Amino acid sequence: MSARLQAWLKQAKSDFTVGQLTAKQNFHSQACYHFVQAAEKALKGLLISLGCLPPHSHSLDRLVEAIKEQGLDVGALEAIHLKALNRMNTETRYPRDDEAPVDRFDSRDSGMAQVAAEAVLSFVEQALTIRDLD
> Using one digit for the tens of pLDDT, what is the confidence trace for 105-128?
999 999 999 999 999 999 999 999
Q: Enter the pTM of the model.
A: 0.93
CB atoms within 10 A of CB 57: 13
pLDDT digits (tens, 9 = 90+) for 73-99: 999 999 998 988 988 988 999 998 899
pLDDT of residue 47: 96
pLDDT digits (tens, 9 = 90+) for 16-72: 999 999 999 999 999 999 999 999 999 999 999 999 988 888 899 999 999 999 999
Q: Where are the domains of the chain?
A: 3-133
Q: What are phi and psi of 96, to 5 degrees?
A: -120, 115
pLDDT of residue 96: 87
10: left (phi over 0), alpha (psi -120 to 50) or beta: alpha
SS3 96: strand
CATH superfamily of 3-133: Nucleotidyltransferases  domain 2 (1.20.120.330)
pLDDT bin (cut points 50, 70, 90) of residue 133 is very low
Answer whether residue 132 shows pLDDT above 70: no
d(C-alpha 79, C-alpha 53), whole Å: 24
